[in-house]
Structure 1
Amino acid sequence: MDLNLRKAILANIDGNNEEQLEATILDAMQSGEEKMLPGLGVLFEILWKEAPENEREQMLSYMAQGVN
Structure 2
Amino acid sequence: MNLNLRQAIVQRMHDKNDEELFGVIADSIGAEERVLPGLGVLFEIIWQHSEAEQQSQMVTTLKEHLH
Aligned residue type for 2:23: A
Give 1:45 deviation, angstroms.
0.4
Runs of 4 or more above 3 Å deviation: none
- What are the residue-to-residue correspondences of 1:31-50 with 2, within 5 Å? 32-50=31-49
TM-score (norm 1): 0.88
RMSD (Å), alpha carbons = 1.6
Higher mean C-alpha displacement, 45-54 vs 14-23: 14-23
- Whole-Å Cα distance in 1 between the matches of residues 3 and 55 of structure 2? 30
Where does structure 2 lack aligned partners over 5 or more consecutive residues?
none
- Whole-Å Cα distance in 2 between the matches of residues 28 and 55 of structure 1? 22
User: 1:1-55: per-residue Cα shift (whole Å, max 9, x none)?
Assistant: x97110110110012222111100011114x201100110011001001111000
Higher mean C-alpha displacement, 13-22 vs 55-64: 13-22
Aligned residue type for 1:36: V
Higher mean C-alpha displacement, 58-67 vs 10-19: 10-19
Where does structure 1 lack aligned partners over 5 or more consecutive residues?
none
- Flag the 1:63–1:3 CA change in 2: closer, same or farther, 3 A: closer
